[in-house]
Copies of this chain bind each other. A is one copy, B any other.
Amino acid sequence: MKLEGPLADRSAWETGEHCSISRAMRIVGTRSAMLLLREAYYGTTRFDDFAQRVGITEAVASARLKELVEAGLLAKSPYREPGQRTRYEYVLTDMGRDLLPAVLALMQWGDKYLHDDGGPLQLVEDATSAPVRVQIRSEDGTEVGLDDLRVRINRHGKRDAPKPSAS
C-alpha cells in the first residue's frame, strides 16, 4: 500500500480516534457483537434465539443487543401476533446490513486459516449455487490486492468523486 504525500510522515493526520477502523471496533469489536450480527443475517430476530444460538448468556445478549440498537445496526420493533400480547423483534437496519462484507470477510479468513477443512459452512449465491467470496475491487471492476492500493487524504465533503478542478 502506498501513502500519498503528507501521509507518509504521519505528522499531518491524527493517529487516534479519527480512524474508521478504530471507531468501528469500538462498536462491533467484540466477539458477541459479531456473532449476534451473524445470527441477524441468518434471520434471527428474537432475544432468546439470539442468546441460545450464539451461545452466550442472556446478560451478555441483553447488553450487546442494546448497544447494537443504540448504535443503529439493529432496530427493536414491536409486532403482535393475533391474540398475543405485543412482542419485540430485532431487525437489521441498513447500517447493520452494510456490515455484512466485514463479517463475511472475517468468516472467509477464518475458514481458510483457522480450520483444516475450509470451515463448517459454505456461502453460495442462492440463484446459481455459485460460491461466494469477499473481495476488493476498484470502480472499473478489477480486483485489487494490497500492493495495488494507494491511500489519499479525503478532501472533506465528498465520499467519492475527487473533484480536481477547484482550489
Could you tell me which A residues sit within 8 Å of B by CB distance? 1-3, 7, 10, 13-16, 18-31, 34-35, 38, 41-43, 52-55, 72, 92, 95, 97-115, 117-140, 142, 144-146, 148-154, 156-160, 162
Contact = CB atoms under 8 A, between A and B. Distances in A.
Contacts of A30: 25, 29
Given A102-B134, A132-B136, A132-B137, 7 more contacts: A19-B107, A19-B110, A20-B111, A22-B35, A29-B30, A118-B157, A124-B152
A148 B125 CA distance: 6
25 contacts: A2-B126, A10-B53, A13-B120, A13-B121, A15-B55, A19-B120, A22-B34, A23-B110, A24-B106, A24-B110, A29-B31, A98-B113, A100-B146, A101-B109, A101-B135, A102-B105, A118-B160, A120-B153, A124-B138, A125-B138, A128-B140, A130-B140, A131-B162, A132-B138, A133-B139
Given A113-B95, A125-B144, A118 B159 contact: yes
Nearest to A113: B95
B140 A103 contact: no
Interface residue SS majority, chain A: mixed
A74 B99 CA distance: 26
A133 B142 CA distance: 11
A150 B38 CA distance: 13
